[in-house]
Amino acid sequence: MTKETKHNPSILENNGLPEFERDYFCDARPEQSRPLAKYIEKFLNWARANSLWLLGFGTGCGAVELRPLMTARYDMYRYGIAPRPTPRQSSVFIIGGYASVKTTKRIIRSYEQMQQPKFVIALGSCPINGGMYWDSYNTINRIDHYIPVDVYIAGCMPRPESIIAGFDLLKKLIKEGQAEGANKYIENLDWYKANQKKIIKDWNMPDYNW
C-alpha cells in the first residue's frame, strides 16, 4: 500500500455532485481520532470488544450465513454481538462476500457513516481475491483497496462457526488496540478515494459522508 503524504486537492470538493446539492454536504477532510490515555482506552476497548453492533447490510451471499448466528443454536447475543439496522449506531461492518460495483458504492457510503472506532470483517473468498467472481465485469476483486479491513474469514461461504472465530479475532485486535481501520482510512483517504473513483464511474455522492 502506498501512503501519500501530500493530500490530493481534487477530492473533497464534492465534484461528483450537482452544483445545487454541494451545499448540503460537508467538504472538509475527516480527522483522525486519537485514543485516550492508556488505561482508560484499555478499559473502553474492553467495552467496545464486548459490545459489537454489526451493520445489518447483507452485501452478498454471506448475508445468509449471518442469519444462523442470531438463531438459538449460535446465539451471537451472548458474545455481545447484536445487529443494528443503521450505520450510525453500528461498529462492525461485515462485507458479506462478493461486492458488485453498485454495492461497493453503498458499502463506502455506509462505512463512512459509521462512527469511529469502526471495524470491518470481510467474509469469504470474494473480498480477498475475487473468489468465484474473479473475472466478472462488475464485481470487485479485493475489498481492501476501497475500505480498510480488520479481519478476513476464508470460506465460500464460511460457516457461522468461522464467523464467530472471526469475531473472536476482532475482539482480540480491539482489546490490543490494533483495530484502527478508521484512522487508517482517513490517513490514506486520497489513495482510497482514487481507487474508489476508478471503479465508481458515476460519483454522484459526496466525497465523504459523515
Partner 1 sequence: MADILRTALYLFISVFVILNYGLLLNGLVRKIVARAHGRVGPPIWQPWLDILKTYAKRSAISHGVMFFLGPIFRLAGGLGTYLFIPAIYGSVMFANLSFSGDLLLVMYFIFFGQLGMALGAGEGGHPNSAIAVGRGLSQMTSFELPFALSVIALAIQYHSLSITEIVAAQQGGILNWTIFTNPLATFAGLFALLGMNMHSPFDIVLAPQEVPIGPPTEMQSSFLGILQTNRAIFLSAKLVLFMNLYLGGATNIFAMMLKTFMLYMLSVVVGVSFPRFRTEQSIRFFLGVPTLLGLAAVIIFML
Partner 2 sequence: MSLKDILSPFYVWKRAFEKPYTTANPLTDRPGAPRYRGFHDNDMEKCIGCGTCADICQNAAIDMVPVEGIQTSKEDSGLRPKIDYGRCCWCALCVDICTTNSLNMTREYTWVDTDPDKFRILAGAQENFWTGKETGYKLGEGYKLLDHDRITMPMVDPKEGIKSFIELVKGYSKEQAIKEADRCVQCGLCIATCPAHMDIPNYIKAIREDNIPEAVRILYETNPMSATCGRICTHRCEEVCSIGVNGDPIAIRWLKRYIIDQVDRKEIAKILRNEFKPNGKKVAVIGAGPAGLSAAYYLTTVGYSVTIFETNEKAGGMVRYGIPEYRMPYEQLDKDIDAILDMGVELKTGVEIGVTESFDDIYKNYDAVFLSVGLQDSYSLSITGEHLPGVIPGIQLLDDVTKGQIPDLGKKVIVIGGGNTAMDAARTARRLAANVTILYRRREEDMPADQEEIEEAKREGVKFITRAIPVHIDLGENKKIILHWNKAEMLDQGPGKRPKPVLIVGEAYTEAVDTVISAIGQSPIYKLLPEEIGSQIKFKREKVITDKYGQTSLPKIFAGGDIVNDIADAISAIADGHRAAQGIDLYLSKQVKVK
Partner 3 sequence: MKEIIQRLKQQFTISNVNQQRVDLTFLSVKKEQAVSLISYLRDFEKFSHLVFLTAVDRVEDIQFQLTYMLHNYNTHQDLGIRVLIDREKAEMASIHHLWKQAGTYQRELKEMFGIDFPGSPRVDESFILEGWDNIPPMRRDFDTKKYSEETYFPRPGRESHDPESYMKSKLYPEGDA
- Residue 154 partner contact from partner 1, partner 3, partner 2, none using kind-dependent CB cut-offs of 5 to 8 Å: partner 2
Q: Which residues bind partner 2 (CB under 8 A)?
A: 72-75, 78, 122, 125, 128-132, 134-135, 142, 144, 149-156, 158-162, 164-166, 168-169, 173
- Sites for partner 1 among residues 98-137 (CB under 8 A): 115-117
- Residue 165 partner contact from partner 1, partner 3, partner 2, none using kind-dependent CB cut-offs of 5 to 8 Å: partner 2
User: Considering only 4-12, 42-50, 95-103, 170-178, which stretch makes contact with partner 3 by CB under 8 A?
Assistant: 95-103
Amino acid (one-letter) located at 181: G
- Residue 132 partner contact from partner 3, partner 2, partner 1, none using kind-dependent CB cut-offs of 5 to 8 Å: partner 2
Shortest approach of partner 1 to residue 127 CB, angstroms?
Answer: 24
For residues 127 and 82, give the distance between their C-alpha atoms in angstroms, rounded to a whole number: 23
Give 62-100 as a DSSP string.
Answer: THHHHHHHHSTTT-GGGGTEEEESSTTT-SEEEE-S--B
Length of the chain as a residue count: 210
One of 77, 134, 172, 176 touching partner 1 (CB under 8 A): 77
In this complex, which beta carbon is closest to partner 1, that of residue 20 or of residue 137? 20
Whether the Cβ atoms of residue 153 and residue 122 lie closer than 8 Å to each other: yes
Shortest approach of partner 3 to residue 200 CB, angstroms?
Answer: 7
CB atoms within 10 A of CB 101: 15
- Residue 115 partner contact from partner 3, partner 2, partner 1, none using kind-dependent CB cut-offs of 5 to 8 Å: partner 1
- Name, in order, each residue with C-beta under 8 angstroms of 201's C-beta and a sequence gap of 6 or more: none
Whether the Cβ atoms of residue 158 and residue 121 lie closer than 8 Å to each other: no
For residues 152 and 149, give the distance between their C-alpha atoms in angstroms, rounded to a whole number: 7
Shortest approach of partner 1 to residue 120 CB, angstroms?
Answer: 16
- Residue 140 partner contact from partner 2, partner 3, partner 1, none using kind-dependent CB cut-offs of 5 to 8 Å: partner 3
- Name, in order, each residue with C-beta under 8 angstroms of 5's C-beta and a sequence gap of 6 or more: none
For residues 180 and 202, give the distance between their C-alpha atoms in angstroms, rounded to a whole number: 30
Residue 46 sits in the site that holds partner 3 (CB under 8 A) = no
Contacts with partner 3, residue ranges (CB under 8 A): 100-102, 105, 128-130, 134-142, 145, 195, 198-203
